Amino acid sequence: MAEDRHDGDIMSIPGATDSIDAATFEQILEMDDDEEERDFSKSIVYDFFTQAENTFGKMDTSLEEKNLKTLSELGHFLKGSSATLGLTKVKDSCEKIQHYGQRKDETGTKDLASDDEALKKLAAAIKQAKTEFRDVEKVLRKFYHDDS
């Protein structure tokens, strides 16, 4: 267990620095009534895990159905919660999903040529979002001393 002790600093966990915005996550941690138990932030983070799994599932279905509008909404939805937790990488990928779903490029400024191009980009972005989610999930579980 020695390697799991981080003195309460999530940013000291490998992989944290580029996937988590310290100030935003810190703000969530400050809402904890008990710094040992961290009930509140833990529940939020674990809720997010569930929400992310569900949303990725819905994204997969929508991708199969080629439902761009739903994909955009799902992207926006997950962007909101990942932003709140300061999970920057996941948030950025979700924003891309939101834009591609609107048949725009990744910054949301230019139109894409076709639905197919959008779907292709969506598939890649969803895959990237999942990977980034897994990575940050590991960091967060480590932070909450969950080795499962």
Partner 1 sequence: MANSLGTQPALLPKSPPVSTVEIRPQRRNDTSLADEIFSSTLIPTIVLDASLVICQVSDSFLEVSGGCRRENVLGLDANDFFHQAMTFFHPLASARKAIHSAQETKRPYELEDVEIDGKAAWSVRAVPIYRDDSLRYIQMEVKDVTEEHQRLLELEERLSVNETFRVFVETVKDYAIFMLDPTGHVATWNAGAQVFKGYTREEILGKHFSIFYGPEDADTKPPRELHDALKDGRVEDEGWRYRKDGSRFWANVVITPVYRDNILVGFGKVTRDLTERRKTEEQLVAAYEESSKLKSEFLANMSHEIRTPMHGMLSALTLLLDTKLDEPQMELAKVIEESGEVLLHVINDILDYSKLASGSFSISADIICVPDICQSVFRVYEKGRKEQTLLEHHLDPRLPRAAEGDSFRYRQIIQNLMSNATKFTEEGYVKLNVSLQDEDDDSYLILTEVVDSGIGIPRGMTGALFNPFTQFDNSATKRYKGTGLGLSICKSLAELMGGEIGFRPNLDGRGSIFWFTARLKKVRQLKHIEAMQEKIESLAIDTPISPFEDIQTAAVGKRVLIAEDNQINQKVMVKMLKGLGFDSVDLAADGRAAVNMAVKEPPPYNIILMDINMPFLDGVTATKEIRSAMIQTPIVAMTANALKGQAESYIAKGMTDYISKPVDRKRLVKILTNALEQDAQRTQREPG
The stretch near partner 1 (CB under 8 A) out of 36-44, 117-125, 126-134, 135-143 is 36-44
Among the listed residues 63, 71, 79, 102, the single contact to partner 1 using CB under 8 A: 79
- Cα–Cα distance for residue pair 59/97, rounded to 1 Å: 10
DSSP at 110: S
The stretch near partner 1 (CB under 8 A) out of 40-48, 62-70, 130-138, 139-147 is 40-48
Burial of 50 (0-12, 13-18, 19+ CB in 10 A): exposed
CB of 5 to partner 1, least distance (A): 21
Size of the site for partner 1 (CB under 8 A): 28
- Cα–Cα distance for residue pair 11/108, rounded to 1 Å: 31
- On whether the CB atoms of residues 126 and 91 are closer than 8 A, the answer is no
CB atoms within 10 A of CB 96: 23
Among the listed residues 68, 71, 86, 133, the single contact to partner 1 using CB under 8 A: 86
Binding site for partner 1 (CB under 8 A): 21-24, 26-28, 30-31, 40, 43-44, 47-48, 51, 73, 76-77, 79-81, 83-86, 91, 95, 108
